Structure 1
Amino acid sequence: MPAPARGEPLRVIIGAGEQRWEGWIPTQREDLDLLDRESWAAWFGERRADALLCEHVWEHLTEEQGRAAARLCFEFLKPGGFLRCAVPDANFPDPDYQRTVQVGGPGPADHPAADHRIVYDHRLFVDVFGSAGFEVELLEYCDEAGQFHHRPWDVATGPIYRSLRLDHRNRDGRLGFVSLIVDARKPLC
């Protein structure tokens, strides 16, 4: 694993796919498997992450697996560290979007959503991380009425492409694709 320069934070992308962000170490399931503590122990050793970034991965786990993965991330973060995590939003009121992100996907087995196991709403997603010990802040989400909410967040601290600010489908005041995005912070003590 490429180590960050001395004094630089250890920031890791979980399930990076093709994502590459400056200052972040991309990993794949073969490196860090969210369901295998031993892969994390081997990869991190005695080190702990300052920040973890995970975009559109959690929906590929069952709720129970997602809760276990949250506990694993909590264990391998430094106190005060955080996980920025994004998933499809169950409350986004666009039928085409919902067909695209639905459990089991909209079509052939090679579709990216073919192995989606869950589509989270904000309450359940916050609970998944809160129950692991995190302090959770919603950054972007739709409420039960389908109303989109967002608060300012610093892209430099952890970019999420499928977000209000970065996704090319969100232009000219039109929401084309949203994510449910949280910051899950490990308390200092």
Structure 2
Amino acid sequence: MTAADHPAPLRVQIGAGEQRWEGWIPTGREELDLLDRATWAAWFGDCRADALLCEHVWEHLSEEQGRAAARVCFEFLNPGGFLRVAVPDAHFPDAEYQRTVQVGGPGPRDHPAADHQVVYDAARLAGVFTQAGFTVDLLEYCDAQGRFHYHGWDVDTGPIYRSLLLDHRNREGRLGFVSIVLDAKKPGQIPG
């Protein structure tokens, strides 16, 4: 299937793995490889996405690769569209969390973090997207002092499981797992 096989609005989940969200088209590296523009050109054709969703993928790219991937996403978004991204947070003040998300992962090669290339802080991640032409709105992040910031966002516009509102580890006033969550918006208006 390609973008042309899906109704508007075109909302695409990048690197979905087993995760599925209603109203979002899940894709894997086979369909949309962030490091291979040709896969995007083949899948999208003349279509463009209204929204892209990418949870805990960018940390598996080097920062240089992340910048290149941001440019590809920018190209295949409609003007006015957005890319919602979540990654582990370098400033979340929990030693076990940091051990788990560290570059190279905490253990065996099959650990999900084994190929982490970078652990971002909010400013560094935002820079990856602003250099590609996006305007960035930080939705969730920890500052350099480890204080958590949440800027009320609507999960219905693009759910992120590893977030304040959805992650099962964040209950009863306790933060057990957070991410940097941002919206990278492409300037302009969505056609319509």
Q: The TM-score by the shorter chain falls in which range? A: over 0.9
Q: Could you tell me how far apart the structure 1 residues matched to 2:179 and 2:133 are?
A: 23
State the shift of 1:4 in Å.
Answer: 2.7
| Equivalent position to 2:6, from 4, 7, 11 | 4
Is 2:124 the counterpart of 1:121? no
In the TM superposition, what is the alpha-carbon distance from 1:15 to its structure 2 partner?
0.1
1:147-166 alignment, distance < 5 Å: 147-166=147-166
Helix, strand or coil for the counterpart of 1:97?
A: helix
Matched AA of 1:38: A
| Distance in 2, Cα, partners of 1:111 & 1:31 | 24
Cα distance in 1 for residues equivalent to 2:118 and 2:24:
27
**Secondary structure, aligned partner of 1:50:** strand
What TM-score results when the alignment is normalised by the length of structure 1?
Answer: 0.97
| Post-superposition offset of 1:183 | 0.2
Q: How many Å separate the matches in 2 of 1:150 and 1:171?
A: 15
For 1:52 and 1:178, the matched residues in 2 are separated by 20
Q: Equivalent residue for 2:187?
A: 187
Letter in 1 for 2:135: E
Deviation per CA, 1:122-161: give whole Å up to 9, x if none: 0100100000000100000000000000011111110000
Displaced runs of 4 or more, over 3 A: none
Q: Percent identity?
A: 75
With the length of structure 2 as denominator, give the TM-score of the two structures.
0.96
Could you tell me how far apart the structure 2 residues matched to 1:165 and 1:18 are? Answer: 20
Distance 1:21 1:179 in 2: 18
Give the whole-Å Cα distance in 2 for the aligned partners of 1:4 and 1:170.
34
Residue 72 of structure 1 and its aligned partner are, at CA, apart by 0.4
Give the whole-Å Cα distance in 2 for the aligned partners of 1:22 and 1:141.
25
The residue correspondences of 1:5-154 to structure 2 (distance < 5 A) are 5=7, 8-154=8-154
Q: CA–CA distance in 2 between the matches of 1:4 and 1:155? A: 22
Post-superposition offset of 1:14: 0.3
Paired residues, number: 187
Residues 96-116 of structure 1: per-residue CA shift (max 9 Å, x gap): 000000000000000000000
Between the aligned partners of 2:24 and 2:172, the Cα distance in structure 1 is: 30
Q: Counterpart of 1:53 in 2: which secondary structure?
A: strand
**Alpha-carbon distance, 1:58 to partner:** 0.1
